Amino acid sequence: MNILAISGSLRQRSINTGLLRSAESLLPEGTVFTVADLRTIPFFDADLETTGIPESVLLLKQQIMEADGVLIASPEYNFSYTGVLKNAIDWASRGPVRPFLDKPVAVIGASPGNFGTVRAQTDLRRLMHGLGAHVLPKPELLVNQAASKFDFFSLMRTPSRCIELSSIIS
């Protein structure tokens, strides 16, 4: 099993990247788990497409294509998912190869506020449907008030939430 994880946050101590790392710690042995690097992906620019697709974009598309499933955790920024994530998905959606088509995708998220990224997840699920992905409808994982649920290493330490996370990745 090969899982590609994508975080919508570039922040070093991101709780959403932490959520993905928590998922990794719950996976059965032998599962390949890769966190995509969105930091190296430039702003989408149609001119860049014609002069040469950036290596970082080609790598991301390859990683999505090779994955058995994609796990996306994004912060909520202004009631939606982040621009960094949208930019990467826009790049991945271009060209003759559509890597998200028929791809199993799970959407999760954590926020320090009360709503646990529900609005970001709703938008992201709609986007993924548009790309033809098979978005896991249930269970939903909305980790709210996350400051108290992650340890120093940004790993989630709430047993009930870890059970939900296990169920999503299995």
Ligand X SMILES: Cc1cc2nc3c(=O)[nH]c(=O)nc-3n(C[C@H](O)[C@H](O)[C@H](O)COP(=O)(O)O)c2cc1C
For residues 99 and 64, the answer to whether their CB atoms sit within 8 Å is: yes
Shortest separation between residue 144's beta carbon and ligand X, angstroms = 8
Q: Please tell me whether residue 83 binds ligand X under the rule CB under 6 A.
A: no
Shortest separation between residue 71's beta carbon and ligand X, angstroms = 14
∠121-7-149 over CA atoms, to 5°?
Answer: 75
Shortest separation between residue 1's beta carbon and ligand X, angstroms = 25
**156: three-class secondary structure by DSSP:** strand
Q: Please tell me whether residue 15 binds ligand X under the rule CB under 6 A.
A: yes
The residue count for binding ligand X (CB under 6 A) is 14
Cα–Cα distance list, 60 to 11, 93, 96, 147 (Å):
19, 11, 15, 30
Shortest separation between residue 78's beta carbon and ligand X, angstroms = 5
**3-class SS letters over 105-144:** EEEEEECCCCCCCHHHHHHHHHHHHHCCCEECCCCCEEEC
Residues 89-128 that bind ligand X (CB under 6 A): 111-113, 115
Tell me which residue has its CB nearest to ligand X.
Answer: 75
- Write the binding mask 36 to 75 for ligand X: x where contact by CB under 6 A, - elsewhere: ---------------------------------------x
Distance separating alpha carbons of residues 124 and 166, to the nearest angstrom: 21
Residue for token pair 């799970």: 106
Comparing CB distances to ligand X, the nearer of 11 and 126 is 11
Shortest separation between residue 112's beta carbon and ligand X, angstroms = 5
**6: three-class secondary structure by DSSP:** strand
Residues that bind ligand X (CB under 6 A): 9, 11, 14-16, 75-79, 111-113, 115
